[in-house]
């Protein structure tokens, strides 16, 4: 798709440039008096949380922001493979894939040895993330991703809409009520900041709250959570521009280092014409911030033109620009519990996204770490609010996501030094100058983390069974379920198994049969299915409410090696009767084929088979032998509450 030909215009890229108009500021609607979950901030973390919770009609959610309306442009642009996998869980990946610039190559430029005042390409390579996912790393305006999430909220069963033009004044937790899961211990006070609101004060009571309100988070400050890490001492400029140039790699991501004028990183943007430039500036004096750097977009363009010599940059339009400081900081804790609190203490307020980790934007990690923060927290909050899980489940948010945030901080610190040529405070020129080969080596080494595909949670009761990893080496316990294709038995359709794991709060149980035929009642897989469907100790029966569909809590899929199967020869649990008419679901059984062999591609033991339990956030929770009936029940018993 091509757009922005006659100037940058925000909005829905399915609408032509000529017809596209900026979003009008939405009408002001009174805040509700009482909600289950209050979300402060409409960035990627806040909208992902709201998008998840909007699917549950028994959970009342409110999302609030100080801005007058949705984001129009700027901020993040990189959309990692993992983020697109999450958007698939919201049924929005097709639009993201269609609209984004797909990053396939990287180039590296350094001063020409024969004429150091000129730059010269040293290497052009394939992007290191290729093949890590069925999706490619993409580039698109963050506002467009927001729009897709908001559209999903609006079209959900709850018709959830954000509330704008509200500033959080205070947030108080009543400690006397905080341990009562049915109580509303949080009181949030907001002030209207639109002209018509005239400073009106509104109050919202909530059971839980999530601060997704950025690096200067008001929620974090009310919880007295400190940020730990390095202060900023290096400035970079960023701008989205429409330009003509004779630089040959303008539509390829490029790292460019000049002899005397600093460095630029270029990232082609969606639409075929727009491009983002990150321009290295001087270091910031101690005690100063990026806002104190008195430069304009014209200064950024002039600096970039010097770095690109001998190539010309004819900038036609600067769609957006900003100056930011490089610093890496992480919150000392991610919820309201004091450090060292007992496991009996239930967290009621959380921080996510930039509210708990800040860094430079060059690695594309801000949005791509913020969004999975609340994708992790969202299903846990929903499970607790619906009475499916013990509130102790909420402790795992900080344990799992703080590890990822620390990895982000460490990687960003390294990358920030690698792409800079001008010394930061306290560094010599020799210390600052780095060979671009080291950047290439860094990107290869960190490809799994940058893409989000290798992010792995610590072993815990939610990520256990490592002793069985050899049964399916390609499904790493703790990492996201690496999708693979299989052929659906009922109709022959080729289906990505990972795309079956939607953001609906359900667990998925993938049963990979062994060498025995699933039609043999004495086979391990038949005995397992019989246990799941009929035994009172089965976690499926134990945790599914009376009258609900059999797959409403734990959704089972079966994949077999045998290729000539008939659905009606298989146990009915695999084609269950559902809904008010008791219609049979024929989309739960798959088989391998010569072209699509998940056993080979994911290292599954063909003799024994196995069970792969996948969490609602798509991470692999455990792997078990087909005979481990008791162990499967034990896994769920650790945190789930029996259905009433």
User: What positions carry a catalytic annotation?
Assistant: 77, 269, 278, 361
- In angstroms, rounded to a whole number, what is the distance separating the alpha carbons of residues 274 and 456? 35
Strands 583-584 and 577-578: antiparallel
Closest CA to 143 of 266, 22, 322: 22
Closest CA to 177 of 206, 218, 210: 206
Strands 34-40 and 201-211: parallel
Name the token pair of 288. 């100063």
Neighbour-count burial of 283, counting CB atoms closer than 10 A to its CB (0-12 exposed, 13-18 middle, 19+ buried) = buried
CA distance to 89, 392, 402, per residue, from 352 (Å): 20, 19, 10
- In angstroms, rounded to a whole number, what is the distance separating the alpha carbons of residues 125 and 384? 47
- In angstroms, rounded to a whole number, what is the distance separating the alpha carbons of residues 490 and 352? 42
Cβ distance 83 to 480 under 8 Å?
Answer: no
Residue with tokens 């919150």: 331
Distance of CA 113 to the CA centre of its chain: 42
State whether residue 153 is helix, strand or coil: helix
Neighbours of 445 (CB within 10 A): 13
Cβ distance 386 to 36 under 8 Å?
Answer: no
- In angstroms, rounded to a whole number, what is the distance separating the alpha carbons of residues 56 and 63? 15
Cβ distance 583 to 484 under 8 Å?
Answer: no
Name the token pair of 102. 């797909």
State whether residue 446 is helix, strand or coil: coil
């Amino acid at each position: 798709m091509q757009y922005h030909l006659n100037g940058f215009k925000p909005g829905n890229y399915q609408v032509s440039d000529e017809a596209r108009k900026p979003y009008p500021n939405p009408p002001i609607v009174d805040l509700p008096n009482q909600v289950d979950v209050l979300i402060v901030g409409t960035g990627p973390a806040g909208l992902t949380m709201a998008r998840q919770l909007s699917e549950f009609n028994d959970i009342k959610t409110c999302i609030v922001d100080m801005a007058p309306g949705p984001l129009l442009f700027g901020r993040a642009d990189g959309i990692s493979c993992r983020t697109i996998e999450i958007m698939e869980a919201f049924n929005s990946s097709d639009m993201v894939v269609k609209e984004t610039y797909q990053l396939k190559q990287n180039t590296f430029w350094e001063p020409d040895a024969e004429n150091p005042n000129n730059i010269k390409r040293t290497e052009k390579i394939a992007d290191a993330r290729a093949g890590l996912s069925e999706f490619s790393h993409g580039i698109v305006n963050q506002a467009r991703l927001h729009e897709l999430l908001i559209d999903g909220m609006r079209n959900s069963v709850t018709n959830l809409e954000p509330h704008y033009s509200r500033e959080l004044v205070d947030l108080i937790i009543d400690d006397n009520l905080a341990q009562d899961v049915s109580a509303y211990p949080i009181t949030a006070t907001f002030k209207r900041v639109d002209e018509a609101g005239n400073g009106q004060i509104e109050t919202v009571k909530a059971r839980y709250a999530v601060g997704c309100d950025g690096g200067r988070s008001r929620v974090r400050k009310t919880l007295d959570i400190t940020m730990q890490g390095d202060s900023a001492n290096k400035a970079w400029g960023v701008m989205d521009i429409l330009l003509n140039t004779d630089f040959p790699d303008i539509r390829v991501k490029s790292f460019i280092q000049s002899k005397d004028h600093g460095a630029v990183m270029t990232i082609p943007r969606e639409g075929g014409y727009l491009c983002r430039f990150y321009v290295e500036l001087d270091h910031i004096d101690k005690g100063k911030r990026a806002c104190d750097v008195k430069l304009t977009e014209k200064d950024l363009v002039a600096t970039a033109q010097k770095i690109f010599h001998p190539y010309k940059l004819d900038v036609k339009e600067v769609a957006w620009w900003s100056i930011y400081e490089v610093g890496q900081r992480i919150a000392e804790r991610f919820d309201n519990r004091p450090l060292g609190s007992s496991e009996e203490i239930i967290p009621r307020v959380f921080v996510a996204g930039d509210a708990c980790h800040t860094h430079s934007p060059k690695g594309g990690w801000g949005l791509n770490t913020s969004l999975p923060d609340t994708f992790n927290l969202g299903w846990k909050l929903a499970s607790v609010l619906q009475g499916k899980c013990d509130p102790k489940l909420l402790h795992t948010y900080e344990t799992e996501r703080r590890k990822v945030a620390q990895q982000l901080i460490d990687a960003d610190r390294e990358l920030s030094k690698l792409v800079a040529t001008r010394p930061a405070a306290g560094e010599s020129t020799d210390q600052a100058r780095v060979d671009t080969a080291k950047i290439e080596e860094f990107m290869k080494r960190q490809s799994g983390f940058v893409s989000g595909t290798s992010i792995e949670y610590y072993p815990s009761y939610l990520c256990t069974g490592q002793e069985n990893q050899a049964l399916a080496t390609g499904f790493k316990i703790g990492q996201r379920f690496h999708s693979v294709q299989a052929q659906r038995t009922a109709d022959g359709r080729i289906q990505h198994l990972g795309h079956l794991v939607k953001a609906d709060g359900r667990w998925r149980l993938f049963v990979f049969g062994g060498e025995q035929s699933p039609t043999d009642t004495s086979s391990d897989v038949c005995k397992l299915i019989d246990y799941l469907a009929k035994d009172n100790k089965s976690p499926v029966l134990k945790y599914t409410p009376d009258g609900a569909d059999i797959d409403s809590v734990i959704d089972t899929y079966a994949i077999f090696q045998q290729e000539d199967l008939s659905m009606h020869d298989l146990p009915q649990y695999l084609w269950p009767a559902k809904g008010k008419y008791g219609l049979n679901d024929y989309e739960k059984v798959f088989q391998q084929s010569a072209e699509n062999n998940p056993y080979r591609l994911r290292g599954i033991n063909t003799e024994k088979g196995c069970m792969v339990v996948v969490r609602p956030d798509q991470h692999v929770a455990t792997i078990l032998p087909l005979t481990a009936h008791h162990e499967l029940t034990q896994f769920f018993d650790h945190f789930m509450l029996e259905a009433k």
